[in-house]
Structure 1
C-alpha cells in the first residue's frame, strides 16, 4: 500500500510540473494581451526556473524524464494549432525553439559554476527582444509585391468622398480592420511615426480601414474620431479588392509607396532593435534615394 501511495505521490508531483508551464503560458497571454515578445520572455524564464526547481526538488538525474514532465505537455499544446491554422507557426516557432533549448541548457548547466547560471538568464532577453521580432517580421514579409506599380484601389475619406493617394510622394499605408485587436495596439506607434514626419512634405502617412461585411461605416467613423489620433484615416471600399490586389490576408499590413511603386509591403515596427522591417529606416532610406 505504501509503495502504491509513493507512486501516486510521484505522479501528482510530475503532473504539477507538467501543468506549470501551460498555466504560465495562458496567464501570460492574458496579462500581456497576446504580445508574443513579452509572452516568450515569460515562458523562457519560466522554463529555466521550472527546470531548476524540478532538478532541485525531485533530485531527478534523467533528462528524458525531466523533458517528458516539464516541457513535453506544453510542446504538444503548441504543436496542435499547426494542424488547424496555416499561419500558426509564425508565432509558435519561438516557443518550439526556445523551450527545449532552455530546458536542455539549464539541465546541463545546473551542476556548473554560478556564473553560467547568470548567463542563462540573459539569453531570454536577447531571444525575445532581438531575435523574435526580427524573425517574425522577416516571416511576415516573405514574397512581398515590391517593385510593382501600386494598383488602382478605391478609397474614400472620412466623409465618404472619393480619395486618391498621392503617388508622387512617399506614402505609408497602415491597413487594418475592426476585428484586429493588435491593430489598435499598433496605432500609438503609427502616431509617433506620423508626428515625426508630419512636417516633411515628401512623406504622407495614413491608416486604412479595410471593411468586413458586418462593418457599419458611420460606427467605424465615430470610433476613429473618438480614438483621437492625429494621423488621417482613409477607408477602402472593398475588402476583397484591397487584399487581392495587394496580395495579403492578415492585419495589420503596411505598404510604402514612392513614385507609384510599392517599395515595401509587409509588417513594420518602429523599435530601434529591429533590423528587418523598421518603419523609420525604410522611410529614411527612401528619402535618401534619388527619384
Structure 2
C-alpha cells in the first residue's frame, strides 16, 4: 500500500495519477475535503483517480499516533498534505497543521522503516538574499507558512542521523499544472493568467517593485509533472536521504510567463497594476533553485521546457481541467 497525504490536493493528486499510470491503485488518500472556502472544492480532484481508500486527515493522525497501521503493509508515504496559504497568519494553526502533524507522520515512518518523502518549500529561503542552497546559511521565513516548513526541515535534519529508512524533503519552487483549481488565490500565476485571458483578454501583472521593473520579478517555475518525477525517482531509485531543492534551476520573469500563456492561447496582451502594499517586505522577487545537491544525488530526468509545459497545461484546461478516470 502507498499512502499519499494531501492526495486530493494539487501535487498529491498528480502523484496519485502517475502511480495509476504505473499500475498502482493500492493507494490510501488522506485529506480534508471540508469546503470551508467556496473555491476549495478539492474533492473534484479525486474523480479521475484510482485508489483503494480515503481517510480524513484527523482520523489518519489518530491512527498513526495509536500505531494502528501494520507498517509492513506500507511501501512509502508521500506527505503532501499541508496548509499552503501564505496569507494565513494564525501561527498556532499553521504550526499544528504543518509542523506537529508532519512530525507524527515522520516518526510513524521511522518506527516502521517506511520511506518518507515530504513537501518542503522554497519559501524557506525568505527573500533569497543569501541564495538558494540547502542549509541554514541561506534559509529564512517571511510568513507563518514558510516558518512552519522551515522548522520542520530543521527538525528532520536532527532526525536524519538516526533514520534507518529513506527520508527525503523536497523544497518545491513555484509549481504549476493540472488539478490546482481549488487553490483559489494561491493557484499558480499560469492558472490565473489563463483565466484572465479567457475572461477579458488581458494578463495583469504586478508593476515594478524593488530593483525589478514592471513584470520583471523572476521565479523558478516548475511544472507539476517534474515535481512528480523527482518524488518518484527518489523512492523508486532509493535515492539518498536529505533535503533537496526541487526546481528547474532557471528563473523566468512574469512577462515571459504571460507571453507564453498568450502564445499558447493565441490571444491576449499584458497590462500592469501597482504592486500591492500588503506584499511589500513579504514577497520573493527572485527565486532560482541551486540544483547541485539534487544532481549529486543522481537525479537525471531533466525538466520540461516552460513554453512546452504552458502549452500542454493550457490545452488541458481547455479540455475540462481535471484528470479523467482510467485515462
TM-score, normalised by the number of residues in structure 2: 0.23
TM-score, normalised by the number of residues in structure 1: 0.26
More helix by share: 1
* Higher Cα Rg, which structure: 1
